[in-house]
Structures are given as structure tokens and as C-alpha cells.
Amino acid sequence: MKKCLTFLAAFSLMAGVLTGCGSSSGGSGGDTLRIGVAAPLSGASAQDGQAIKKGAELAVKMANDAGGVNGKKIELVAEDDKTDPKEAAIVANKLATDSSILAVVGHFNSSATLAGAPIYNKNKIVEISPGSSSPAVTDAGPYTFRVITTDAFQGEYVAKWTAEEGFKKVAVIYENTDYGLGLADVYKKAVEANGGQVVAMESYILGQTKDFSPILTKIKQQNPDLLFVGGLYNEAALIAKQSKTLGLNVPFMGVDALYSNALIDLGGDAVEGFLLPGFFNSSSEKENVKAFVKAFEDAYKESPSTYAAYAFDATQIIIKAMKEKGADRQSIADYLTTLKGYEGVTGVHDFDENGDVMKEPEKLIVKDGKFQTYKK
């Protein structure tokens, strides 16, 4: 089982958000099986939150079209956590104390997941995060899982890649959140362990910082040969464009969180050559990926983002647990602790004893205005 709750997760307990009953096994007494979705459907991360909702909706629709679970239809219940830990605790309490909700896909932001985790754990209901990569989530409790790898893994992976490409002097720009701080710290330590030097560490406020020129001017003075962005695609696109304006013409690297067509749409030519690892490649020749992309495009008239794909996998895993182990909270949790080798659209899923997923990414590059497999 997992380790003790982290301080941040425990904070929501002390804040008195646990207003519901202690624990509930959930159940399938009616004709409908209900899965919760907790995501930022409004606010700074709304685009990702809406993608998560659509990915989960598609998984439910496909399952229902195939007959549901033992003849029972699945219903999705979506709640907006607004990228706010306090709101996330309220949403978690609402979902966890509703005994008809059997599992939850969410949350997106690491801070939100950590705020909700003690509530889900108290009520013994699984949450599977499609986007929380902070190392702190590892210790969030026995009912907290995720289909995205940790920042520790991605930071070390990209730092090794940095060394392989021969970059020696690296500047880091990161968002001032649990996610950004954790990622930047891991990446910096791993770069230095691989013989490189981090010549600048600069942070920004998610959803608020729009003018990066003061930060970039300071970085330019350090003459780096690579700029690493520990954040999301909106800010990454702005950073790339403003870097070009300032004459800071260096390669860029980031992590899986940047894998979105919005990076290219917003950044244009400025993000050409951007390097990042990806667990979901919409151009993949794998049959399950091609089927998912087609179904998503048919349903929503748009291409799926990486977070839509993560949410699709998380929801399908919950549905698979219901089919194979039983449509109640504890059976779902028991199934996930033994899950090995599940092939989703974001890779092959194995959960370790902490609910962290273990899978390998693909190296990607923005080339000719689209994401392509990177070949050195």
C-alpha cells in the first residue's frame, strides 16, 4: 500500500472540508454505473479540463455502445475544480460522499489532486489523475493513481536527453506551482548530475504572467545554449515568441505537458524545433491509437490533445476494472493494484505500489508546423 499523506494533502483535512460520512463502498444498485470527472472546466486550465472531460465522455460512449458493463449503462458526472485547491476539495467531497459514484477521473493540476486526495482516501474511492505529475502525488494515499508519469521521471528523462544533445548551459523557466517547482527542481539536479550547468532559474505565475521579457532579458545575459520550459503550452508559446523578439535564439525543450496543437497554433514559427517527450502521438500507426483519434475527431470535430488521451485511458481502465473485478469502489481499487500491461492510447500501463504509472515516452519535435517523431 502507499505511504502517508503529504503535508499539502493533509491540509485539506485540517481545513475541515471533510463534511461527508466516513467511507462508502459505493455500489451498482441501480441500472446506471456512475463515474466522476473532476477537472478545471473553467479558469486558466479550462482548455485542458474540457479535453479531459471529452476524453472521458468518449470512453463512456464507446463502452455504452458496446453494451455497457454487464448490461448496465455508464453515466459520467463532471465537476469543475477551477484549478483551485480549495474548490478541488469541495468537488472531491461532493463526489466522494455520493455513494453512487464508483470512481473519479481527476484531478488535472497536482495541487488540486493533493487537496482532494485525503477526501477520496477517507471515503475509499479511487481517483485516477490524467495530468498530475508532481512527485508529491506519489504519497497521496492508497486510492490515488495516475496515468501520467511523475515529474521526477520526465525531468530525469529530459535531462538525460539534454546531455545526449550536447547542451551544456541550460536556462530554466517554470510556473510557480507544485507541478512547476517539482519539475524544475528534478530537472536542475539531473542536468547537473549529467555534467551540465543550469545558468538561470526563473519562475512565473500561471495564468497571470504575460510579459516574459524581463525574465528572458536576464536569461539572455547568461548566454545559455538551451532553454527548458517547465510549464504548459500557453506560456511556452509566449516564451518562444518573445524570445525570438529579444534575439534569444536558442533551442527549446519541455515535457509532455506541452504536447498540444495549441503550442503550435499559438507559437507558430517560434516553436519550430521544440523538443519534448510524448506518451500520445496522434500520428501513430498503432491500431488502438488510430481508432481513438478517428472516434474523437468524429465526435468533437477536433483532434485529441494529450490530456484527452490520458483521460480516455483512465476512464477505460476504470471500466475494465468494473467488468473484470466488480462495479463497486473497493473492487475497482483492488483491480488497479494488480494492473499490469494494459495497453492504452498513451502507452502500456503498469501501476507500482504507490499508484504511479510506469511507461516509456517517444521523443518528439515540432517540425514543419506539426509534432513528429524526433530523429537525430
Amino acid identity of residue 105, one-letter, is V
Q: Which fold has domain 152-278?
A: Rossmann fold (3.40.50)
With CA atoms as reference, report the closest residue to 278 among 316, 233, 241. 233
pLDDT score of 12: 40
Judge if 7-149+287-349 and 152-278 fold alike in CATH terms.
yes
Which H or E element spans position 264?
helix 261-267
**Residues sharing a CB contact under 8 Å with residue 259, sequence separation 6 or more, in sequence order:** 233, 276, 278, 280, 305, 306, 364, 371
Residue pair 101/34 in contact (Cβ under 8 Å)? The answer is yes
Domain boundaries along the sequence of the chain: 7-149+287-349, 152-278
pLDDT score of 277: 94
pLDDT score of 27: 55
Per-residue pLDDT of the chain (376 residues; tens, 9 = 90+): 443 333 333 434 333 333 333 334 555 457 899 999 999 999 989 999 999 999 999 999 999 999 999 999 999 999 999 999 999 999 999 999 999 999 999 999 999 999 999 999 999 999 999 999 888 999 999 999 999 999 889 999 999 999 999 999 999 999 998 889 989 999 999 999 999 999 999 999 988 999 999 999 999 999 999 999 999 999 999 999 999 999 999 999 999 889 888 899 999 999 999 999 999 988 888 999 999 999 999 999 999 999 999 999 999 999 999 999 999 999 999 999 999 999 999 999 999 999 999 998 999 999 999 998 898 8
With CA atoms as reference, report the closest residue to 339 among 327, 323, 357. 357
Cα separation, 89 vs 350, in Å, equals 28
pLDDT score of 21: 38
Q: CB count, 10 Å around CB of 245?
A: 11
pTM of the model: 0.81
- C-alpha distances out from residue 30 to 33, 34, 63, 232, 327, Å: 8, 10, 18, 41, 11
**CATH homologous superfamily of domain 7-149+287-349?**
Response regulator (3.40.50.2300)
With CA atoms as reference, report the closest residue to 40 among 112, 121, 128. 112
Cα separation, 307 vs 314, in Å, equals 10
Task: Tell me 72's DSSP state.
Answer: B
Cell readout for 371 is 509534432
